[in-house]
Chains A and B, each alone.
Chain A
Amino acid sequence: MKTWLDAWPVFRQLTGPDPLGRGAAARSKATEGVVSRTATADRVVQSVCPYCAVGCGQRIYVKDEQIVQIEGDPDSPISRGRLCPKGSASKSLVTSPTRVTKVRYRRPYGTEWEDLDLDTAMHMIADRVLEARRKGWQDENDGKRVNRTMGLASLGGATLDNEENYLMKKLYSAMGAIQIENQARI
Chain B
Amino acid sequence: MAECHPVGFQWVSEAKARGAKIIHVDPRFTRTSAIADLHVPLRMGTDIAFLGGLIRYVLENDLYFKEYVVAYTNAAALVSEEFADAEDLGGLFSGFDPENNTYDESTWQYEPEEPPHSGSDDPAGAAEQDELEDHPEIRKTDKAQAAGSGGPPIAAKPKRDETLQHPRTVFQVLKRHFARYTPEMVAEVCGVEPEAFLQVARWVTENSGRDRTTAWVYSVGWTQHSVGAQYIRTCSILQTLLGNIGRPGGGILALRGHASIQGSTDVPTLYNLLPGYLPMPHAKQHESLDDYCADAAGKAGFWGNKRAYMVSLLKAWWGDAATAENDYAFDHMPRIDGDHSSYQQIKDMIEGKISGYFLVGENPTVGHPNGRMNRFGLANLDWLVVRDLQLIESATFWNESPEIETGELAPETIATEVFFMPAASHAEKEGTFTQTQRLLQWRHKAVDPPGDAKSDLWFFFHLGRILRERLAGSTDPRDRPLLDLTWDYPVHGPDQEPSAEDVLREINGVGPDGRAVSGYLELKDDGSTSCGCWIYSGVYADEVNQSARRRPGREQGQVASEWGWAWPYNRRVLYNRASADPDGKPWSERKKYVWWDEEAGRWTGVDTPDFEATKRPDYVPPEGARAQDAIGGSDPFIMQGDGKAWLYAPAGVVDGPLPTHYEPAESVVENALYKQQANPTIEHINGPWNRENPSLSPVFPFQVTTYRLTEHHTAGGMSRTLPYLSELQPEFFVEVSPELAALRGLVNGEFATLVSTRTAIEAKVLVTERMRPIRLRSGQVVHQIGMPYHWSYSGISTGDSANDLLGIVLDPNTHIQEDKVSTADIRPGRRPRGPELLEFVEGYRRRAGVESGRVGVNGREPVAAEAGEGSQQ
Contacts and interface: CB of A to CB of B under 8 A. Distances in A.
Given A96-B390, A98-B390, A164-B455, A157 B264 contact: yes
Contacts of B872: none
A116 B274 CA distance: 35
A162 B261 CA distance: 9
Given A136-B355, A147-B478, A55 B441 contact: yes
B417 A108 contact: yes
Contacts of A163: 431-432, 457, 500, 503-504, 507
A100 interface: yes
Interface in B183-235: none
Contacts of A111: 399, 411-412
Given A131-B355, A175-B467, A186-B368, A181 B436 contact: no
B331 A165 contact: no
Contact of B420 (A100, A150, A151, A154): A100
B455 to A, nearest CB: 7
A32 interface: no
Interface in B334-349: 334-337, 340-342, 345, 348-349
A77 B271 contact: no
A70 interface: yes
B361 A173 contact: no
Given A125-B463, A128-B383, A161-B500, A144 B411 contact: no
Nearest to B413: A109
A174 B482 CA distance: 5
Contact of B421 (A56, A57, A89, A121): A121
A42 B843 CA distance: 64
A79 interface: yes
Given A51-B259, A100-B422, A129-B356, A122 B462 contact: yes
A24 interface: no
B457 A167 contact: yes
A67 B447 contact: yes
Q: Among A70, A83, A93, A113, which residue has the most Cβ atoms of chain B within 10 A?
A: A93
Interface in A56-107: 56-57, 60, 62, 65-67, 70, 74-80, 82-90, 92-94, 96, 98-107
Contacts of A108: 414-417
Please tell me the size bucket of the interface on A: 35 or more
Q: Among A144, A153, A160, which residue has the most Cβ atoms of chain B within 10 A?
A: A160
Given A162-B266, A162-B440, A164-B460, A85 B431 contact: no
B255 A84 contact: no
A123 B443 CA distance: 30
B354 A151 contact: yes
28 contacts: A47-B443, A48-B441, A60-B446, A65-B447, A65-B448, A82-B7, A83-B7, A85-B710, A89-B724, A92-B723, A96-B389, A100-B389, A102-B451, A128-B356, A136-B353, A154-B357, A154-B358, A154-B360, A155-B358, A157-B269, A158-B258, A158-B361, A163-B500, A165-B268, A167-B461, A173-B481, A182-B269, A182-B362
Q: Chain A at the B interface: mostly helix, strand, loop or mixed? A: mixed
A156 to B, nearest CB: 3
Given A160-B456, A167-B461, A174-B482, A153 B259 contact: no
B816 interface: yes
Interface in B724-750: 724-725, 728
Contact of A109 (B259, B414, B453, B485): B414
Q: Among B266, B341, B360, B485, which residue has the most Cβ atoms of chain A within 10 A?
A: B360
B364 interface: yes
B579 interface: no
A159 interface: yes
A118 B354 CA distance: 25
B270 A182 contact: yes
B505 to A, nearest CB: 10
B439 A55 contact: yes
Contacts of A129: 356, 463, 467
Given A86-B719, A94-B427, A163-B504, A153 B263 contact: no
B355 A160 contact: no
Given A47-B443, A151-B356, A161-B429, A53 B258 contact: yes
A156 B503 contact: no
A123 B462 CA distance: 10
Contact of B355 (A82, A132, A186): A132
Contact of A118 (B269, B452, B560): B452
Given A153-B356, A158-B264, 9 more contacts: A53-B258, A53-B259, A85-B724, A106-B420, A147-B332, A160-B360, A165-B268, A166-B533, A183-B714
A147 B331 contact: yes
Contacts of B435: 48, 53-55, 78
A60 B427 contact: yes
B470 interface: yes
A98 B485 contact: no
A181 B440 contact: no
A77 B560 contact: yes
Contacts of A139: 478
Contact of B317 (A78, A94, A173): A173
Contacts of B447: 62, 65-67
B8 interface: yes
A145 B710 CA distance: 49
B426 A146 contact: no
Contact of B269 (A109, A123, A180): A180
Interface in B239-273: 255-271
A129 B506 CA distance: 26
Nearest to B552: A75
Nearest to B817: A186
